Structure 1
């Protein structure tokens, strides 16, 4: 078995988790409107907790549903990237990176900052697990839908979407391969130009001097040195919103999000539930309390 075959089996197995209940946490139904309003403000805070539980559930599921070659098993890397890897396989090691999305918060707030240089063999999948509570604001977490894509596609789309020198530049992490694993850097960063219009015009001239394809992103050392030249000459601000999955412009992910929000859950579209809850629709919240 090679890593590509392993990833195909793993992908199909993970999709089977759609509809599963995560029977670890239960949120009690609020007894009054004020309690319901307060609860809606903090439900999304469960995502980090559920993220760890889902990583564990995915790893356990992969080991249970398929007889992997002798000596091979899926293990969690906590911390580490990706979240799960197939240990024991010869050659390139396949991996799964798990993200969660609570659609009542609307935006997919999870980030993907890892450099594409770390999965040039396309050996890593990104999994986005969409979850909601069984009864909207109460019950156990339930897996509503799952999106799976290639980490390489996610990273390349992200870089192409964000990178627009000199106004906005994406930069690769420093070479930290000689450091111990816990000190190695694998994440890209985005930077926003912070100078005057006159200085921007000067920066534009520099970028134009790079040639016809000078604005196209590249992980090559020579291109990264050009970006370092810009940050050395002009002031840039670190973009703290860089690499949010909701903003990278990957078409399959946009389609997934639209399909989830338009799907029916507990009698209404998820988008309608999100709008009602975020606007504090007390009439709708009362129906959830009374049901």
Structure 2
């Protein structure tokens, strides 16, 4: 016969199980990588950047635990692929949407080419046969390959690539030292690091490649309802004006996609 005290303890444990399961399922840990001004660590090791601050605002409203960390890019990808991190900062693309859920876009930006002042750049064909610095493997590199396709269709010499494994100030410094002819990069990232190293009077050519930056969630380990809840909190904060100062601080604006487009992009709402 089970003693009454043990019975009571057993009942309490049973009552706690559903809550613990719900709590674990609702917890979020989101990894970012060093990609200023969107996500980076300051001199004190604190996470900074517009995407970090926007996500922190959502985390403050999240019903479970919600943690944000900055990791090296490859480490972040590893944690996400293994399911150790539920969310990761990524640019949306069709291939990724096959295996990932996406948050609503937190920001919209674009890719383009930066050149030094003595190489005024106005057309893509000026870059035929030139060496292009790029961060990769990454969505940025994939976008550059689309520009490569345009060059090939014009029957011009192909772009030559100089690939860097990080998207920090190093590639911009290499442009400054003329290690390559042009730097293909997110417009805001390039501008941020050019200011950091005191490089001015750059030319910029837009590649007409708008990019949506989101938090991605692995479909294998995260259900769509979790992402839907994340998106609803984001919209609520937008509507309340509680994110306005963050966007103003970084001189950016929120992007709103037509609701009918969301399902096809694997954006639960």
Q: TM-score range by the shorter chain?
A: under 0.3
TM-score normalised to the size of structure 1?
0.25
Q: Of the two structures, which has the highest relative contact order with CA contacts closer than 8 Å and spacing of 6 or more?
A: 2
TM-score normalised to the size of structure 2?
0.26
If each structure's strand is expressed as a fraction of its own residues, which one has the higher value? 2
